[in-house]
Structure 1
Amino acid sequence: MTAAVGDPLRFGPAIVLAVIVAWLVLATYRTSREIGGRAYGFGMSIRQTLARVLFAAAVVGGLVALGLHAAGSASAAFAPLAGEASAIRLAGLALAVAGQVLTVVARSEMGCRWRVGIPDEAPDALVTTGLFGLSRNPVFLGMLAMAAGLAVAVPSLAVIACALAFWIACEVQVRDEERFLERSFGPAYTAYRSAVRRWI
């Protein structure tokens, strides 16, 4: 594998994940300031605790796994299982970047209505236009595309496990958010849910 291919596959995945994590932390902080409250908060139910723990494990585990891969760790848990299929792995990195862009654009479309977890109070209105007119969960869709792309770019046991944990967390969180939005917005959310798919 040439350096022109090997370097992006070695360092690119860790950079993609680190950039989106840093951006999400800053976006959460900024939104919290804009709304004068907390934009981050998971409920206390078992399901919400599970989602929060799986999200944290996936993100922290992914940062560690991709960082060790970039550092050249010889451990089997962090080494790609798929050998030198560089074209497929580069396609995975491209998917991760596309997911990153989708996440940023979709989150930006939500503005100060964006939250992480289940908020104490619902935002003032549903976001149903732009990307949200095509998918009810474009932010999660972008992050799932990123997780899948990173698992293809670095198909190690550790990264695949993190991607699976993230997927399970998203499935739990999306369903909890749907129930919250239905309670908060009633018929308006029911109509939106009937018109727009959960994913794509």
Structure 2
Amino acid sequence: MTDAALLRSGPLVLLAVTCLWLMLATGRTSSAVGHKAYGFGGSTRQRAAQRLFRLSIVGAIFGAGGYAIGLGWAVLRPMIDIPASLRLTGLAIALLGSLLTAIAQSNMERRWRVGVPERAPDALVTTGLFGMSQNPVFLGMLMLALGLALALPSAVIVACTVAFWLACEIQVWDEEMFLENAFGADYAAYWRSVRR
């Protein structure tokens, strides 16, 4: 595959595979725990985070897909002319982010949740990648988003990256409050000892 073909279709393929994998992982976790592992609660903040996540993901799939099939819309084409080598570096960063997300999600096993759940998992995950970062899943997803924005710096992809970052900020804040309420002193000690 040529660099041009990889840059045309790579962002869409990587994004689609990552989304599919996360959907399957969430479904698998839901089956394992006997209730939905997906839910954003009823607060205004959680609804805003959910909408921003959905908008950014659907928008990025549309933007990457439209570019891949050659739609000529200006908002789908790169806004700036950057070297193919830098765009390929962005695709590599996105791939690393996708892999980090998958490994971190696997570290959570049956404790994986999307959104702030109605009930706390049975234990706080502090091992594996969670021993180095409090938010390796979000770190991986943000690497994916930023890498895609570098690989395909179109108006749509850049806007989706910003929306995704805002959703992550809201979600991390809400999850921290949830985990503090659920795990008390254990979470406070973890929060102090592991980088955010």
Q: Specify the TM-score bucket, using the shorter chain as the normaliser.
A: over 0.9
Q: For residues 76 and 85 of structure 1, what CA distance do their matches in structure 2 show?
A: 19
Deviations 1:150-193 (A, max 9, x none): 00000000000000000000000000000000000000000000
Q: Does 1:117 align with 2:115?
A: yes
TM-score for both structures, normalised by structure 1: 0.97
Residue number in structure 2 paired with 1:139: 137
- The amino acid across from 1:51 in the alignment is A
Q: Among residues 78, 82, 92, which one is paired with 1:80 in the alignment?
A: 78
Q: How many residues align?
A: 196
SS in 1 for 2:74: coil
| Equivalences for residues 120-199 of structure 1 within 5 A | 120-198=118-196
User: TM-score, with normalisation over the residues of structure 2?
Assistant: 0.99
Deviation at 1:73, TM superposition (A): 1.3
- Alignment partner, residue 92 of structure 1: 90
* Equivalent in 5, 8, 11 of residue 7 of structure 1: 5
* Matched residue type, 1:117: G
| Matches for 1:52-63 after TM superposition, within 5 Å | 52-63=50-61
Distance 1:81 1:116 in 2: 32
Cα distance in 1 for partners of 2:63, 2:52 equals 15
**In the aligned structure 2, how far is the partner of 1:84 from the partner of 1:41?**
39
For residue 143 of structure 1, report the CA deviation from its aligned partner. 0.3
CA RMSD, Structure 1 to Structure 2 (Å): 0.8
Q: Tell me by how many angstroms 1:4 deviates.
A: 1.3
Distance 2:138 2:192 in 1: 19
2:91 counterpart letter in structure 1: L
Structure 2: which 5+ residue stretches go unaligned?
none
Give the letter aligned to residue 95 of structure 1: I
SS in 2 for 1:116: coil
**Deviation (angstroms), 1:82:** 2.0
For structure 1, list consecutive stretches of 5 or more residues without a partner in the other structure. none
Structure 1 CA distance, aligned partners of 2:90 and 2:64? 14
Deviation at 1:81, TM superposition (A): 1.4
Percent of aligned positions that are identical: 53
Distance 1:88 1:99 in 2: 16
* 1:84 Cα offset (Å): 4.8
Map residues 33-52 of structure 1 onto 2, 5 A cutoff.
33-52=31-50
What are the Cα deviations for residues 68-106 of structure 1, in whole angstroms up to 9, with x where unaligned? 000111111000012251011000000000000000000
